[in-house]
Amino acid sequence: MSKSFTFSAATALASVLVLGGAAAANAHGYIGNSKSDVTARAAMSSNTDLGAVQYEPQSIEAPKGFSLDPSTGGPEDGHLASGGTDLAKNLDEQSSDRWDKNEVQAGQELNLGWEYTAKHPTAKWHYYITKNGWDQNSPLTRDELQPLSEVEGDGSLPTDGTADQMKLPDDHKGYHVIYAVWDIEDTSNAFYNTVDVNIND
């Protein structure tokens, strides 16, 4: 079962947070709304030593263009979880037991919902999952990922309390990572979220 992030003293954080050199940014979004079966790495309250992103899981924003072809843009390999940002640099730490995991089932119809703290016109959402045999003890790279789902946004604003639905592969078991990308229509940026799952039979 996923664990949700709660904003304690969110108003105060929004006005005064300057932690680790990262000033509070306009809020945006992270995976883990009320419809979601899973919660992002940055937003799981049971994860420790997150750094500044624990206060701003909605702000992992970086240039868009991500695909499995590194020439198209997006964060560099090894810095996918952080989006290449200093705010979230601790998220790039990767080992089999570094992060708490959402419990899911092989072949499950997964609901993956974003908590929007500010809405943006959306180009698309696209989702990836680690391949069988991926290296759990090295920072995440594109060649460890395979496509999972893509949802077109047509330039409209996202809707609160909704979730994208996708089927987990039947042949994936154990620890895997879902990599989620929210491409914004009217800026050059996207939001990046990493979701740790334990896939049960």
Q: Say which CATH number the domain at 157 has.
A: 2.70.50.50
Mean pLDDT of the chain: 89
Q: Is residue 165 part of a domain?
A: yes
**Rounded Cα–Cα distance for residues 118 and 30 (Å):** 10
In a domain, 157, yes or no: yes
Number of domains the chain is built from:
1
- Domain of 88? 10-200
* 1 falls within a domain: no
Q: What angle do CA 182, 187, 189 make, to 5 degrees?
A: 45
Q: Is 163 part of any domain? A: yes
Are 87 and 60 spatial neighbours (Cβ–Cβ below 8 Å)?
Answer: yes
Domain annotation covers residue 3: no
Three-state DSSP state, 152: strand
Find tokens 């809020």 and name the residue. 27
Taking only the tens place, the pLDDT of each residue in 26-80 is 449 999 999 999 999 999 999 999 999 999 999 999 999 999 999 999 999 999 9
Write down the pLDDT at residue 20.
Answer: 34
Residue 195 — very low, low, confident or very high, per pLDDT cuts 50/70/90? very high
Q: For residue 5, what pLDDT is reported?
A: 42
- Kindly report the number of other CB atoms within 10 A of residue 123's CB atom: 18
Statement: residue 22 has pLDDT above 50: no
Predicted TM-score of the model (pTM): 0.87
